[in-house]
Structure 1
């Protein structure tokens, strides 16, 4: 079983969270955070897939042990990247089997309950780390993320719908220790098993030292009661932003809602830390005799999410 440790939380809540399993949907006490605030978090993924810790069939070449890029979303309760005990979506199936994110990318910023989409770079070996920043607000306080075990039939690590708002306050930091998960879409037992589709699909499940208990399984260690964590997720708060003024849709030139710190699909507008990037052009000769009018003379460019913003853009 994976263990969860939360830092800077009330003791009663800490004890409650400690009993939860990473990968299962996390539920916190009622009382959401202010929807007129936006918070920036950093997630650090530290992997520990080491030959000394997981020696059985440890992949050394074609390809060697490594991790795919991290795919993450901040979202509300209507969105789910995966859920332990439920069948994988077609998007998760393709990602877990091959790393293909085309279907997952359909759930992008501003659609289906998603506030921010973020990625972290792949880790090219079994042990390493990668990180990304992301936004949350009071209406989208949950975070989910996944990374594929490479090579593997359909195995991955992930966090499902972890709520960063606790009793009306944003969590300062949290540490999550992860076990590998099985997407339930391929019957392969070993890291390099050939494609063997599971028909029908099985629910997403946790891979432990004891289950699946087939001797050929790459993660089966009958002499262990549980595995050491194969990865650790650290999430910590960077900064909170206050509402500057209410967005007025009648002033918009396009359906995109404009944040002074980046284009975010919610209604508040935040105080800017510097001017946006603006490109202008000048009319040298105006149209005559019914000629076409000149196009827009000014263009403003906004970053779409934390992953697209130059880090110098924010004062954090």
Structure 2
């Protein structure tokens, strides 16, 4: 975990204490869990704290807009000890942010956010953004105005600790030098560093040049010039077995109950009707057997003819009954079948035009299950979509 600043307040004290002591990798947050955070940026660039060369006009001490990204581990906005990218270099020197690319698209960047600029050295500004289990880190940057190429920022701070989202945390930020301008004072002219240097932290005794606007050798460290407070606003959970999958359990359960009940009722009714028919046939055959026996006693020849005829008729009846029972048995077996579903439909459009929404796809039941047949799989899948990067600044109410 990397960040540019000092940790001063954590609501989850016990969890973060363990996290800070541990050097190993901590469990990540579930990719099905989404969290919305508010970042509150407070600046303290005042004459009382930083009297040396304090700029009061042309222009007065102020801050650019705050530009942030929530992202995966693979994204780097800036990194202390490394050269600044072209986008960071341009932003630190001129305030232009169009060169700050997203560095890989939606697979790496989840959300792009900005907070309004501050027209005074001591001010407060804020923004909101989303993170999820695959994009749990946040980076942001704000330029000091006026300055050669100085800024404050956070580098890849992970808001997920031991599988849980931090409730609240505040980080102190030190001024940073982008390493692309040789100026020592707030209002120094542009003297490009050639070759370009690395990004480094400005301290009370470094750079150790008496002309430096932040050179205060009589103190151990500079006063706090800015803080970044992250507050969890809300958590969202798809409550799914896996990423991007959803089911409609209420509908599925209701359909299954109806089908099972209907199947049992129809089956019981068929069994009762067949038993009743067999009972009647048995009674009729018994009645015929008694009459035939009486007839054979009174007239042997006729009895033999009738008996042979009745035997043939009885065999025909047995065979017919056998075929009927076989047909009914096969019909009963057809009550036990697996569910069959169609192919997935195309993904729907995103549910929102601004912010984090959902996309869905569905499939239909071709044949419902019967009896002990295999039940239907989920009929709907859902996955996250969208981003707040294109949202207007006033999309949230503070």
Matched, 1:188 2:183: yes
Compute the displacement of 1:11 (Å): 3.3
Residue 115 of structure 2: aligned partner: 120
Contact 2:19 2:161 in 1 (8 A): no
- 1:288 is matched with which residue? none
Unpaired segments ≥5 residues, structure 2: 247-343, 361-384
In the alignment, which residue of structure 1 is the partner of 2:42? 46
Output the TM-score relative to the length of structure 1: 0.77
Deviation at 1:260, TM superposition (A): 5.2
Higher helix proportion, which one?
A: 2
Measured after TM superposition, the shift of residue 13 of structure 1 is 3.4
Q: Secondary structure at the match of 2:90?
A: helix
Aligned CA distance change for structure 1 residues 62 and 92 (closer, same or farther; 3 Å): same
Distance 2:132 2:139 in 1: 15
1:71 corresponding residue in structure 2:
67
Contact 1:2/1:229 (CA < 8 Å) preserved in 2? no
Q: Distance in 2 between matches of 1:148 and 1:312?
A: 24
Aligned-partner Cα distance in 1 for 2:233–2:17: 21
Q: Is the alpha carbon distance of 1:63 and 1:76 closer, same or farther for their aligned partners in structure 2, counting shifts above 3 Å? A: same
Q: Decide whether the 8 Å contact of 2:87 with 2:97 is kept in 1.
A: yes
TM-score by length of 2: 0.62
Q: Deviations over 1:160-212 (max 9, x none)?
A: 00000000000000000111000001000011111111111111100011100
Out of 160, 167, 189, the residue aligned to residue 165 of structure 1 is 160
Match of 2:210 among 210, 215, 218: 215
Contact 1:9 1:171 in 2 (8 A): yes
1:265-284 equivalences under 5 Å are: none
User: Which residue in the other structure is 1:13 paired with?
Assistant: 16
Deviations 1:42-69, CA, capped at 9 Å, x for gaps = 0000000010110000001111000000
Distance 2:175 2:72 in 1: 25
1:143 to 133, 138, 143: 138
**Equivalence for 2:92:** 96
What is the deviation of 1:259? 4.8
Deviations 1:74-99 (A, max 9, x none): 00011011011111000000000010
Give the match for residue 149 of structure 2.
Answer: 154
How many angstroms apart in 2 are the aligned matches of 1:33 and 1:198? 42
Three-state SS of the structure 2 residue aligned to 1:125 is: coil
Do residues 3 (structure 1) and 6 (structure 2) align?
yes
Query: How far apart in 2 are the matches of 1:119 and 1:163?
Result: 19
Structure 2 counterpart of 1:258, from 341, 350, 354: 350
Structure 1 alignment gaps of length 5 or more: 20-26, 271-301
Of residues 188, 201, 204 in structure 1, which corresponds to 2:199?
A: 204
> The residue matched to 2:233 in structure 1 has which SS?
strand
CA 1:216–1:178 in 2, change beyond 3 Å: closer, same or farther? same
Determine the structure 2 residue equivalent to 1:308: 391
- 214-223 or 241-250: bigger deviation: 241-250
Residue deviations 1:128-151, cap 9 Å, x none? 000000000000000000000000
CA shift, 1:312, in A, is 7.8
* Secondary structure of residue in 2 paired with 1:251: coil
**Partner residue in 1 for 2:80:** 84
- Partner of 2:88, secondary structure, is helix
